[in-house]
Amino acid sequence: MHPFSATLAAATLGLAACGATAQTPIGGPMPNAPTAAGITLDAGLQSWIAAFSRRAEAAGIRRETLVSAFRGVHYDATVIGRDRRQNEFDQPIWDYLDTAVSATRIKTGQTELAERKRLFDALEARYGVEREILAAIWGMETNFGRQRGGAPIIPALATLAFDGRRGDFFEAELLAALKIIDAGEVDAAHLVGSWAGAMGHTQFIPTSYLAYAQDFTGDGKRDIWGDNPADALASTAAYLARAGWVKGQPWGVEVVLPEGFPYAATGKNARRAHADWLAMGVRLPGGGLPPDHGIASVLLPAGARGPAYLIYANFFAIAAYNTADAYVIGTGHLADRMTGGGAFTTGWPRGTRLLNLAERVELQTRLTAAGFDTKGADGKVGPNTTAAISAFQRARGMLADGYPTEDLLKLLR
């Protein structure tokens, strides 16, 4: 953590140490904060900005860019509050999908695909990524450009980097944002987006912008912020192509599993040949055989009581954009629905109460203590925790779907 206890004197000393002068200060004057804590936090940020600016200059950022970008930047407690709530946010996947793949969003996406047919034709031809997945990401990220975010990126990233919870990550993003400004792509006033630093129609973070952003319109600018979505959609196509997108392959298909299915064989990392899944009785909801798109995994995002999906390489290409299973499923399903696909047939276990963060940490702690190592207790249910749950369930003669439930926690208690 960065020193929240920094004083006004320390902030002044920090500015002097990196060579800032009264004529060209980096940062801004102290605001008239209503509390001592507010003054202390902002003083700490100003000191941090001074030290960071020296590192940024060493990395090649021009001093005039730094002075201009940090002018008037202050500690933003609202950003920190939103960042903290992310860890506490527990939304069932079915509630998430109700919004992500709503009838309104499907219809809007179909309209955009029809009205921008020439653009999507050209994008698909150049990058080899289907139009519907590009439109789906656009819809998921900003409701097709209607909610791009107007928060200034530099103050948000500076506050998050100073805060220190994910300091290295946000410092790298802040440096990337300054490189974007320094290169003349956009000025600081127009470098806007979400509170966490995602920008433009498809919400690129600054490092992704530097690596993948495209000038599809040929005007000399990689403009992901303006009203024309062409550059942003091309940038997303380039990103997916680099992530291994396979044209003609679905992200996944809904399947049903037979009675007695070995649930320990499920999970994103448990990949098998198509023939193996057929031999294990995996079928489409209507009883037909799933399509053969090569190596696949069976994913149970809500455990054995919810839908099952046979997922392919394109699932992981979307996951490179956003790792959350709910996001990948929502994006893929929205793309399918916009092109005439039907709703999922298996219902979600909507009466199930999800474990909150504290309960997930407790679950991991108790599993590890019982000899089923989750490799840490951070409340994030990833492959290690899923494997530990599955091993515990098998040891107890339970259905081993690896899904964390309230009943499982009670049993561990």
Local structure of 141: helix, strand or coil: helix
- Amino acid making up residue 78: T
Measured in degrees and rounded to the nearest 5, phi and psi for residue 255 equal -135, 170
Query: Rounded CA gap, 19 and 298, in Å?
Result: 57
Give the active site residue among 132, 141, 173, 185: 141
Helix pair angle (325-338, 103-115), 10° resolution: 60
- Residues contacting residue 74 through CB under 8 Å, at least 6 positions apart: 28, 31, 42, 45, 155
Beta strands 297-299 and 192-193 are unpaired
Query: Rounded CA gap, 1 and 24, in Å?
Result: 28
- Residues contacting residue 2 through CB under 8 Å, at least 6 positions apart: 44, 48, 162, 163, 164, 167
Query: Rounded CA gap, 157 and 236, in Å?
Result: 22
For residue 69, the Cα-to-chain-centroid distance in whole angstroms is 26
C-beta separation of 400 from 394 below 8 A? yes
Question: Maximum Cα–Cα distance for the chain, whole Å?
Answer: 75
Radius of gyration of the chain (CA): 24
Is 64 assigned a catalytic role?
no
Catalytic residue numbers? 141
